[in-house]
Structure 1
Amino acid sequence: MCISADTIVAQKVQERLKSLYQSNGSRSKEKLQQSDQGINNIIKFQTGHDDYQMKLKSLYKTSISQAEQEEDLLRQALQKIAEIRNIKNERRIQARNAGNKESIRRGTWMKMLLSSAQTLPLFVGKIDEKPPPLCGAIPADPGYVAKVGDMVAALVKIPDGDGENWILAEVFSYNHTTNKYEVDDILAEQNQKGRHTLSKKGVVPLPLMRANPETDPSALFAQGTVEFFFPVMALYPTTSCFYKGIVNKPPATHTDEYEILFEDATYPEGYSPPLYVAQRYVIAIKQKSKQT
């Protein structure tokens, strides 16, 4: 009996969903209840027994341990979710390599890109743990190589033109001998640009995690001004191209987007009104060609 690849993928996803429900669902609820009870015990003891320091210390230790157990369960759940995302992405890449091209309308692609940015994993570090490379505004390490299927900004030649432009693309392969990428324009069917072979300097990996402004504000691009600013490149809304701009307002919460002022000569000030761009599509690179 021959089992299709799609069936195998579905089975793997179901296995992890079942594990997620059985291992984390009821246990997480139980741990949360234990943590709440532990905190309530501390509050009651503090208000009723001022001189029982040893007992209070014991309650604190118990509450801390319960909170750590709850944290471990939540991190396990997030890991299962990440595995499910990876399984589905690997299947999509296999289908693409087998010649099964996706026929998706531009509007649908735009919604998918937005959803992908909104569901990008959020970095939740432990005490004193700093955000890693490719979290928010933190760039990749110099020797980093983006994986097959990863989203990147790619500097490609403009069709029927002399200039170049940064576009949103997906990594198809990387040649360690030539140090060159093969990337696919994310809207290849609509833009008819197809596949590009580029050097590493022409490819910038996009963030793999979102930064939380409330805990890791240093992992985000700071607000700038027209007179003095740190330039960024951001994906212009409803397009697949990156353009130069400045941060008018960084995200205030982990669900917020950047407010970007795009460099645009069609406006008297030289910049567009504030436009919203997700963390995943704001990076630090130079732009050679301007938006027209």
Structure 2
Amino acid sequence: MNQELSESLDKSCKDLYKEETKYFDYIKKIKETAPNLKNYKTNKSKKIDQAFESILSYHEEAREVIQRKIRYANEGLKTTNLLIKKYVQQELISKLPGWEGSSNPPPLCGKIPANNNYIASNGDLVAASIPDENTGSAIILCHVKTYSKTTQEYKLVDFFEDLNKGPSYYTLPKEDVIPIPRTLSSKHLSQTEFSKNEKVLAVYPETTTFYPAIVLESPGSRTKKGFDTFYYSLRFVNDFVEQIEVYARFVIPNNEK
């Protein structure tokens, strides 16, 4: 769901609730004022009171219905967000080319790092360390917008937010931006793949955030057993799931000691 649709749904729910509340308040005010009116105390006063009570009861029910609809809408947005994240990874997996050489793999082929003077281009995907209110920092997938040679800073766009509800921009120094693999070796060379028990950072499935993980099996060792090519078997740190498969493009070095 894009930003325009999300904002439209949110505005409609709030407007509906506002209108309902306005009429509710009108009826309540009339009910409170009516006993003070001249000639109100008649044979019909009890019936009038009952009518007001029925109207108030109806509006209470209407208010509950609207609140439920708002909750359902929010739950729907959360589900949509998860589907978008899953779509993100499927799209990226289908677009990454394989490298067919047998020696001297290029930079950013699997785990091989970029050259020291490497500058990511506009539109390239990178892993960026951004401020996070819960953990202090988080590493997420971003698109490169621009790079300033003067300040040596990248302007980045949150990859998920760009697809979901409009871009969130970050300006970060070069050292906080990690280029991710651009190719993977079709020959499963040892120098292009992380080995068993290596510490890595990897995107947790159905998210666009990198978390610490331990390699259980490399793509090469998995392929020999008949599993999917270019997937790692990982165990994420502090995760209750013992083994998770992650596409190799989303597995990068963990330089923390």
**Correspondence 1:69-80 to 2 at 5 A:** none
Identify which of 212, 237, 255 aligns with 1:244. Answer: 212
Would you say the 8 A contact 1:222–1:250 is kept in 2? yes
Identify which of 170, 174, 197 aligns with 2:143. Answer: 170
Would you say the 8 A contact 1:183–1:196 is kept in 2? yes
SS of residue in 1 equivalent to 2:103: coil
Instruction: After superposition, give the CA deviation of every residue in 1:28-76 in whole Å (9 maximum; x if it has no partner).
Output: xxxxxxxxxxxxxxxxxxxxxxxxxxxxxxxxxxxxxxxxxxxxxxxxx
Residue 231 (structure 1) aligned with residue 207 (structure 2): no
Identify which of 180, 191, 196 aligns with 1:206. Answer: 180
Counterpart CA distance in 2 for 1:161 and 1:251 is 33
SS of residue in 1 equivalent to 2:184: coil
Counterpart CA distance in 2 for 1:166 and 1:192 is 19
Would you say the 8 A contact 2:188–2:219 is kept in 1? no
Residue 135 (structure 1) aligned with residue 103 (structure 2): no
Counterpart CA distance in 2 for 1:207 and 1:282 is 8
Q: What TM-score do you get using the length of structure 2 for normalisation?
A: 0.60
User: RCO (CA 8 Å, sep 6+): is it higher in 1 or 2?
Assistant: 2
1:281–1:172 Cα change, 3 Å: same
Aligned to 1:116: 92
Instruction: After superposition, give the CA deviation of every residue in 1:88-122 in whole Å (9 maximum; x if it has no partner).
Output: xxxxxxxxxxxxxxxx9551442242232243110
Residue 263 (structure 1) aligned with residue 232 (structure 2): no
Identify which of 118, 124, 127 aligns with 1:150. Answer: 124
Would you say the 8 A contact 2:88–2:160 is kept in 1? no
Structure 1 runs (4+) deviating above 4 angstroms are: 189-193
The one-letter code sitting in structure 1 at the alignment partner of 2:179 is P
Alignment RMSD:
2.4
Counterpart CA distance in 2 for 1:145 and 1:195 is 18
Aligned to 1:279: 248
SS of residue in 1 equivalent to 2:219: coil
Structure 2 unaligned regions, length at least 5 = 1-79
Q: What TM-score do you get using the length of structure 1 for normalisation?
A: 0.54
| Structure showing greater Rg | 2
CA displacement at 1:216 relative to structure 2 = 1.7
* Larger strand fraction of residues: 2
Structure 1 unaligned regions, length at least 5 = 1-103, 225-229
Would you say the 8 A contact 1:234–1:244 is kept in 2? yes
Aligned to 1:72: none
**Correspondence 1:13-32 to 2 at 5 A:** none
1:166–1:191 Cα change, 3 Å: farther
1:241–1:251 Cα change, 3 Å: same
Would you say the 8 A contact 1:151–1:171 is kept in 2? yes
CA displacement at 1:237 relative to structure 2 = 0.5
Counterpart CA distance in 2 for 1:115 and 1:193 is 19
SS of residue in 1 equivalent to 2:98: coil
Counterpart CA distance in 2 for 1:192 and 1:203 is 21
Aligned to 2:157: 184
Counterpart CA distance in 2 for 1:183 and 1:106 is 22
SS of residue in 2 equivalent to 1:113: helix
1:287–1:193 Cα change, 3 Å: farther
Would you say the 8 A contact 1:243–1:287 is kept in 2? no
